[in-house]
Amino acid sequence: RQGVMEEARRRLRQFDVGDKFSRLPLPRAAVLLPLMVRGDRLHLLLTVRSMQLRRSPGEVCFPGGKSEATDKDDIDTALREAKEEVGLQPEKVEVICRLTPGIDKMNNLVTPVVGFIEDTFQVTPNPDEVSEVFVVPLEYFIKPLNYKALSYKTSSGYSTRMHCFTYDDQEHKRSFKIWGLTAHFAVFLALVIFGETPAFEVDYDLDNLISSSENNFINLYASIYKRKKSNL
């Protein structure tokens, strides 16, 4: 178990972007990618958004949300939101790094914060925000049993590949659909930690994962910024 975590920590730290992108003029948000070890395998904890939420009800996502004025940084945002949504105490998270951010459909700059949690963590979902919590083996995001790629064009006209996974959860006896930015972050996390070629195509140069992920992000950001400027 320690070996699995140590290797993951080592690889993740090489990809830590810190606050490199935090000064970009977009509204900010952050999500926590909670990793745990079960039976010598890394697993990722995910949530299902409550059906009463106005935005994306019933969709799978990571604990997270918009930053608030009292948050020191993205890590603070992700930990605060995880506590509010699933009862995860900030001191129970070993934060490892921040990975290359993404931009959601509301044009928020979303920073993924990766942290280890204990596999004994007892989830207490806030029913106003979260209807279910489940875990997926991390390797599912490079070797899935049920996967399709969708071509997707952002509102700014940037074309990209959207990953869409269907995961059959034995514990809940049902299937979960994981797609969009959540799938994007999960795939990148798996690529970073395992360093393997996935069973499907990705928009990265796998030999230069750091620079290609940052270039992809910069191109996406540039397309949005250009559109903002032309709307002025």
Three-state secondary-structure class, residue 152: strand
Q: Exposed, middle or buried: residue 59 (CB in 10 Å: 0-12, 13-18, 19+)?
A: middle
- 3-state percent breakdown (helix, strand, coil) of the chain, nearest 5: 30, 30, 35
Predicted pLDDT of residue 232 = 42
What is the CATH number assigned to the segment(s) 1-231? Answer: 3.90.79.10
Length of the chain: 232
The Cα–Cα gap between 133 and 46 comes to: 6
Q: Is the pTM of this model over 0.75?
A: yes
Strands 64-66 and 94-98: unpaired
Q: Which residue has the higher pLDDT, 22 or 33?
A: 33
Give the Cβ contact number of residue 85 at 10 Å.
25
Per-residue pLDDT tens over the stretch 81-101:
999 999 999 999 999 999 999
List the one residue out of 137, 153, 168, 112 whose CA is nearest residue 45.
137
- What is the rounded average pLDDT of the residues 7-25? 94
Domain ranges of the chain: 1-231
Mean pLDDT of the chain: 93
Per-residue pLDDT tens over the stretch 125-167:
999 999 999 999 999 999 999 999 998 887 777 788 899 999 9
Cβ 28 vs Cβ 13: under 8 Å = no
